[in-house]
């Protein structure tokens, strides 16, 4: 349990000692209800994610009673958003946005590209379960992006990166060295890849396209800075 300390002084003869008094910080136990989810707008959710990421950057994430939240969420889920992220172990998605159990759906695949499985998951999250936002998040120094740039040939990775090579093809206007060793070019391709994923969502899912056109959901992109923990909303 997270805690904060205050100091008190005790007199013992001629000596004065300082003893820490531990005051528990209240923990969050509630999970989102159907009514709370319904009241949210896509814009509300974007703002919540921005505020959560700011807390993450400042190392001020919310203290949570996970045991209670697990029990409270057992009967149903009403998340705010679905986030498509890379599998990279350096990106703990819930922590990055200071979200707890029941707050967000997370879909992960190397290179955060869209396929029919991801689309089906997004349709379930939004159309069936009421999520208000789809966020596609790329990141710096992405191994899958580098593999696509280098046209790696290795097992199933070879097939996987064909989903990312369109972003490489669309990045030939980059004004510099087009190499996986050039971090600026890797970032350029990663952001192009996010753009392509967003276009794929609306072009390959009539359900999500209609929801976005009606303003029921937003579909946006983001880019995660590995060095700072900051999420840049694109």
Of 30-39, 117-126, 146-155, which range is least confident?
30-39
From 144, 73, 81, select the one nearest 111 (Cα to Cα): 144
Distance CA 191, CA 185 (A): 10
Provide the percentage of residues in the chain whose pLDDT is more than 90: 74
Q: Which pLDDT score is estimated for 25? A: 63
Written out in words, the top-level CATH class of the domain with range 31-233 is: alpha beta
Q: Which pLDDT score is estimated for 22? A: 56
Among positive and negative, which fits the CA dihedral 197, 203, 206, 212?
positive
Distance CA 234, CA 224 (A): 11
Does 58 score more than 70 pLDDT? yes
Does 62 score more than 50 pLDDT? yes
Of 18-27, 41-50, 113-122, 135-144, which range is least confident?
18-27
Q: How confident is the model at residue 142 (pLDDT cuts 50, 70, 90)?
A: very high
What is the pLDDT averaged over residues 85-111? 95
What is the pLDDT averaged over residues 207-219? 98
Of 5-9, 128-132, 208-212, which range is least confident?
5-9
Does 117 score more than 70 pLDDT? yes
Of 5-14, 35-44, 70-79, 149-158, which range is least confident?
5-14
What global pTM score does this model have? Answer: 0.85
Delimit the domains of the chain by residue range: 31-233
Distance CA 102, CA 87 (A): 20
Does 20 score more than 70 pLDDT? no
């Amino acid at each position: 349990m997270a805690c904060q300390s205050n100091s008190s002084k005790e007199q013992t003869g001629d000596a004065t000692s300082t003893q820490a008094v531990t005051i528990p910080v209240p923990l969050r136990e509630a999970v989102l209800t159907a009514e709370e989810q319904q009241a949210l707008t896509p814009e509300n959710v974007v703002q919540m994610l921005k505020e959560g990421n700011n807390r993450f950057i400042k190392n001020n994430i919310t203290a949570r009673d996970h045991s209670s939240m697990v029990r409270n969420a057992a009967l149903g889920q009403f998340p705010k958003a679905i986030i498509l992220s890379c599998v990279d172990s350096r990106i703990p998605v819930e922590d990055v946005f200071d979200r707890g159990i029941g707050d967000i759906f997370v879909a992960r695949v190397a290179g955060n590209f869209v396929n029919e499985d991801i689309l089906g998951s997004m349709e379930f999250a939004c159309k069936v379960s009421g999520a208000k936002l789809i966020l596609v998040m790329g990141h710096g120094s992405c191994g899958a992006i580098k593999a696509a740039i280098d046209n790696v040939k290795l097992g199933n990775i070879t097939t996987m990166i064909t989903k990312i090579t369109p972003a490489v093809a669309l990045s030939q206007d980059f004004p510099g060295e087009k190499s996986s060793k050039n971090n600026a070019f890797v970032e350029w391709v990663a952001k192009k890849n996010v753009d392509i994923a967003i276009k794929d969502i609306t072009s390959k899912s009539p359900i999500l396209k209609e929801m976005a056109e009606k303003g029921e959901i937003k579909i946006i992109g983001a880019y995660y800075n590995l060095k700072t923990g900051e999420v840049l909303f694109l």
